[in-house]
Amino acid sequence: MKVLVPVKRVVDYNVKVRVKSDNTGVDIANVKMSMNPFDEIAVEEATRLKEAGKVTEVIAVSAGVTQCQETLRTAMAIGADRGILVETAVELEPLAVAKLLKALADKEQPQLIILGKQAIDDDSNQTGQMLAALLGWPQATFASKVVLEDGKVTVTREVDGGLETLSLTLPAIVTTDLRLNEPRYVTLPNIMKAKKKTLDVTKPEDLGVDVTPRLKTVKVAEPAKRSAGIKVPDVATLVAKLRTEAKVI
């Protein structure tokens, strides 16, 4: 049984991002890049399923610039068996990524696709849902527990009111939430082993997918700085200011 795990190269979550001076986007020059944390959780979950004997092969997939190979090597160091890079310099939107993943799914025929619920750079939270629609597969989003057995995957997912448990018939798509697992520390021996694993490179046109952007970024701006707070002498003054100045009550 194959599991496909898409991973994205993003600005490291510890980095304080800055907007470019011309307001066209975020400055990523000389900035540390790493795997999207939610995707790292997805790779860890797929690896655990393989270690439990439920899965035979884990394939990591990424789409983007050449440097995404580093992200795929990290995924293989965690436990993925091989990697596929769809190389393109075009800034990919969720629908384009979903179409690329559908083309790869048609080619590789995985029984399960596990991916992060969202990327921490654009926070779109769309790719998994779009991919499920394109493939016509059942999906479970925001997974906090995944159990694979008897041709079905049982997923506990986090919803506003608590937890919801779904049973999906394979093939299926699962998007991961933070509480699903804690990714393992990548050791040096595994990093060295990952360098010997197969990493195939293809292009969007080879998959018959048009990744031309449909959206245009008009302007990127930093949020307004917070104004200084004030002290009030009593509750009555606080309520009055909330009503007359802040207009929140």
How many structural domains compose the chain? 1
Given the DSSP bridges, would you call strands 112-116 and 82-87 parallel, antiparallel or unpaired? unpaired
With respect to residue 245, please indicate whether it lies within any of the assigned structural domains: no
With respect to residue 179, please indicate whether it lies within any of the assigned structural domains: yes
With respect to residue 23, please indicate whether it lies within any of the assigned structural domains: yes
Given the DSSP bridges, would you call strands 162-169 and 9-11 parallel, antiparallel or unpaired? unpaired
With respect to residue 249, please indicate whether it lies within any of the assigned structural domains: no
With respect to residue 235, please indicate whether it lies within any of the assigned structural domains: no
- DSSP-derived secondary structure letter, 207: G
| CATH number reported for the structural domain that contains residue 17 in this entry | 3.40.50.620
With respect to residue 239, please indicate whether it lies within any of the assigned structural domains: no
This prediction's pTM = 0.84
User: Residue 161: its pLDDT value, please?
Assistant: 85
Q: What would the pLDDT profile of 203-246 be if each residue is shown by its tens digit?
A: 999 999 999 998 888 888 888 888 888 888 999 999 998 998 88
Given the DSSP bridges, would you call strands 2-6 and 33-35 parallel, antiparallel or unpaired? unpaired
With respect to residue 238, please indicate whether it lies within any of the assigned structural domains: no
Domain boundaries, position 100: 2-223
Q: What would the pLDDT profile of 73-121 be if each residue is shown by its tens digit?
A: 999 999 999 999 999 999 899 999 999 999 999 999 999 999 999 999 8
Q: What would the pLDDT profile of 145-164 be if each residue is shown by its tens digit?
A: 999 988 899 999 988 888 99
The single-letter code of the amino acid at 51 is: E
